[in-house]
Amino acid sequence: MASIRELHEQLVKKERSAVEITQEALDKIQALEPKLHSFLHVTAQQALEQARAVDAKIAAGEEISILAGIPIGIKDNMCTKGIPTTCASRILENFVPPYESTVTQKLFDAGAVMVGKTNLDEFAMGSSTESSAYQVTANPWDLSRVPGGSSGGSAAAVAGGECVVSLGSDTGGSIRQPASFCGVVGMKPTYGLVSRYGLVAYASSLDQIGPFGRTVEDAAILLRAIAGYDSKDSTSLKVEIPDYTASFRPDLKARGKIRIGVITETFGEGLDSVVEQAVTKAIDQLQALGAEIHVISCPRFRYGLPSYYIIAPSEASANLARYDGVKYGLRTPDAENLLSMYTRTRATGFGAEVKRRIMIGTYALSAGYYDAYYLKAQKVRTLIKQDFENAFKKVDVLVTPTAPTTAFKAGEKTTDPLSMYLNDLMTIPVNLAGLPGISLPCGFDDNGMPIGLQLIGKVLREDQLFQVAYAYEQATNWHLRQPQL
């Protein structure tokens, strides 16, 4: 599909109606879903209603917002009033939220058109979207490969052109890694920039909602629309949201030297050589665009993964305690007492990966182990944060590969959780430190699978990340390639 700005122009000039644009997305969804399985629910009727409302505004001569009439996919862990929100879990199979999450409310207020709810790993736990209880999403570039995860449905939907942009959530890499695997742009904002009211919690000290787009500009426009203070989220930051696109320039020379640090620890063992080559080339390109390149060491970066796999499951085990057959969704019938209703509901409602996380988390938080695991992991988290703080004394932006490999084959890692967890080696430290990170296409491997470049910014410097990403994108044409579906 065309970009947000192109579609906006077509709407304003009355070359096309919002209903026509929405219908294009719905037709694409109908044609591609048998192959891609990106959506858990398609909300065609509501989408067309929203589109008609935009057309009525245009007909009445009213001004419309930049997102009005733009088809958007929403990850199915964000509550949408009156529309199922399953988190790709059996335990929420029949859950229909009685309220709207802040992000979707903001989008609807801007006139955006939600075309459906996208597939994910159950409760956003995973890196391949294979742990969804309902369906496995395919990578649009090669249907036998995974789209990454956990926001794999949102990434595949944008890459396949089923919608223009989409929302994902990122706890340890779930926006950036699928963006990398699907050849699109994905941004995880600073912790607290986007309200999480209505986002089903996974690990509350790490979760953030963020945008997917085919281009940096599309992602930047979407982030601006969803960011900002919300009194309903106690971690929400009171900050002004800039127009990120206002300062876009095709190079990095105009605004004084921008210093980019290459994290040495992310190159080496475990990194695919094609990925390494593509990222190294991208760094040269950034230099050619005017950036000053520095080599930076973050020695504690590699402890991110082990500490994350204590912290995230611990928080998840607490957050998921609420699914007990009483308040939400599934309840197993015919239990002889309350305890057996709890346990049977949870035993049948949760999938294997979710159960694994609950067990790890419950263990790590239990008396006698708390100090050895959870507290220790939190201390390591502080050290990782310090590494970033030191790095940002010398540079403005950090660069790494987004993921160690390109998209792998479906089924390849499902029986080996550890190798699945390794996917997020480069993205997890960013969540632990609450920083913004973006992934954008920087090449393709020999199988034609996209490679992602990760840029990491200082707290609340999404503007800088977008600028660097935009300049790189303009100098390359990776974003122009499209999967042949």
Counting beta carbons within 10 angstroms of the beta carbon of residue 376, is it exposed (0 to 12), middle (13 to 18) or buried (19 or more)? middle
> What tokens does 335 get?
């239990």
Q: Is 350 in the site for ligand GLN (CB under 6 A)?
A: no
Alpha helices in 133-201 (DSSP H): 152-159, 176-182
Closer CB to ligand GLN, 387 or 424, in the complex: 424
Q: Is 130 in the site for ligand GLN (CB under 6 A)?
A: no
Contact (CB, 8 A) for 137 and 36: yes
Question: Which residue in 102, 137, 171, 317 binds ligand GLN (CB under 6 A)?
Answer: 171
Please report, as residue ranges, which positions from 405 to 464 form the binding site for ligand GLN (by CB under 6 A). 424
Among 17, 28, 38, 75, the active-site one is 75
Cα separation of 258 and 292, whole Å? 6
Question: Which residue in 202, 323, 388, 478 binds ligand GLN (CB under 6 A)?
Answer: 202
What are 42's strand-pairing partners? 116
> What tokens does 342 get?
């709890």
Count of alpha carbons within 13 angstroms of residue 253, beta-carbon side: 7
Decide if 419 is catalytic.
Answer: no
Q: Residue 193 CB, nearest distance to ligand GLN (Å)?
A: 16
Question: Per CB under 6 A, which region of 165-173, 179-187, 241-249, 463-471 contacts ligand GLN?
Answer: 165-173
Amino acid making up residue 233: D
Q: Is 349 in the site for ligand GLN (CB under 6 A)?
A: no
Decide if 393 is catalytic.
Answer: no
Counting beta carbons within 10 angstroms of the beta carbon of residue 202, is it exposed (0 to 12), middle (13 to 18) or buried (19 or more)? buried
Closer CB to ligand GLN, 125 or 263, in the complex: 125
Q: Residue 21 CB, nearest distance to ligand GLN (Å)?
A: 30
Please report, as residue ranges, which positions from 293 to 312 form the binding site for ligand GLN (by CB under 6 A). 312
Cα separation of 358 and 228, whole Å? 32
CB atoms near residue 385 (< 10 Å): 16
- In the bound state, the residue with its beta carbon closest to ligand GLN is 174
Taking CA atoms, 356 is separated from 120, 170, 288, 443, in Å, by: 17, 20, 47, 35
Question: Which residue in 76, 170, 315, 463 binds ligand GLN (CB under 6 A)?
Answer: 170
Nearest of 140, 131, 128 to residue 87 by alpha carbon? 131
Please report, as residue ranges, which positions from 47 to 66 form the binding site for ligand GLN (by CB under 6 A). none
Taking CA atoms, 375 is separated from 194, 358, 383, in Å, by: 27, 18, 13
Nearest of 161, 157, 232, 245 to residue 199 by alpha carbon? 232
Closer CB to ligand GLN, 127 or 166, in the complex: 127
Q: Is 22 in the site for ligand GLN (CB under 6 A)?
A: no
Amino acid making up residue 351: G
User: Interface mask (CB under 6 A) for ligand GLN, residues 256-295, using x and -?
Assistant: ----------------------------------------
Among 132, 150, 151, 169, the active-site one is 150
Decide if 376 is catalytic.
Answer: no
Question: Per CB under 6 A, which region of 47-55, 118-126, 366-374, 449-457 contacts ligand GLN?
Answer: 118-126
Amino acid making up residue 361: G
Question: Which residue in 40, 124, 271, 469 binds ligand GLN (CB under 6 A)?
Answer: 124
Amino acid making up residue 111: G
Closer CB to ligand GLN, 172 or 325, in the complex: 172
Closer CB to ligand GLN, 424 or 473, in the complex: 424
Among 174, 195, 307, 439, the active-site one is 174
Inter-helix orientation angle 273-288/462-475, to 10°: 100
Q: Residue 177 CB, nearest distance to ligand GLN (Å)?
A: 7
Q: Is 73 in the site for ligand GLN (CB under 6 A)?
A: no
What is the set of active-site residues?
75, 150, 174
